[in-house]
Amino acid sequence: MSKTASAALTNALKPLVREDGTFDLVDTRKHNVIEHDSSFTRLDFHEGDNYTFQRHMLQAMLDDADGQTVTLRSLARTFIRRGKESKAAGAPNLPINLWFVRMLQAVGVRNSCMVGDLSKEVLEAVFVEERFPDEVLHNTKPRTVFTLLGNAIGMMFWVIVGPGKSETK
């Protein structure tokens, strides 16, 4: 990963870092630090347990892909759907900085994997087993802030123009 990409992804941790350069992982769970509402695979903060992976939410992401691989277009469907679900559940509007975090996190796994569209198997390895599969680990494509932003722009294109038949779910 490039230095710029790693800095961009860890910038939110700066307020948590002590003088000796360390921080406690539990502190990352503070609402509006790096945790945010409308996660694709976790409940919102005000719904209680927003740390535990929710299998039904991963299934909803896969359903947004209509049984195919997860693409930028289907991620746009998930982004829109989760935004609506979060709002319906009473989540407050995110401040602009966390809206951008939400957008980048929406494509973060795709950028980290660098395998193109994401298969169910890759997503289950990442979210259910909490590991990267060999096809990702052996992939030498660079992960940069530019690839992250490119994925985000690609997804936002579909958010703006409409992601297709599942957009009204």
| Total number of domains constituting the chain | 1
Instruction: Give the confidence band of 25 by pLDDT, cuts at 50, 70, 90.
Output: low
Q: What is the pLDDT of residues 60-73, one digit of tens each?
A: 999 999 989 999 99
Looking at residue 96, its pLDDT comes to 83
Global pTM value = 0.79
pLDDT at 3 over 90: no
pLDDT at 168 over 50: no
Instruction: Give the confidence band of 37 by pLDDT, cuts at 50, 70, 90.
Output: low
In this predicted model, which residue has the larger pLDDT, 61 or 12?
A: 61
Q: What is the pLDDT of residues 92-143, one digit of tens each?
A: 888 887 788 888 889 989 998 999 999 999 999 999 998 999 999 999 998 8
Q: Which domain holds residue 44?
A: 3-168
3-state secondary structure the chain: CCHHHHHHHHHHHHHHCCCCCCCCHHHHHCECCCECCCCCCCCCHHHCCCCCCCHHHHHHHHHHCCCCCECHHHHHHHHHHHHHHHHHCCCCCCCHHHHHHHHHHHCHHHHHHCCCCECHHHHHHHHCCCCCCHHHHCCCCCCCHHHHHHHHHHHHHHHHHCCCHHHHC
pLDDT at 33 over 90: no
CATH number at residue 103: 1.10.489.10
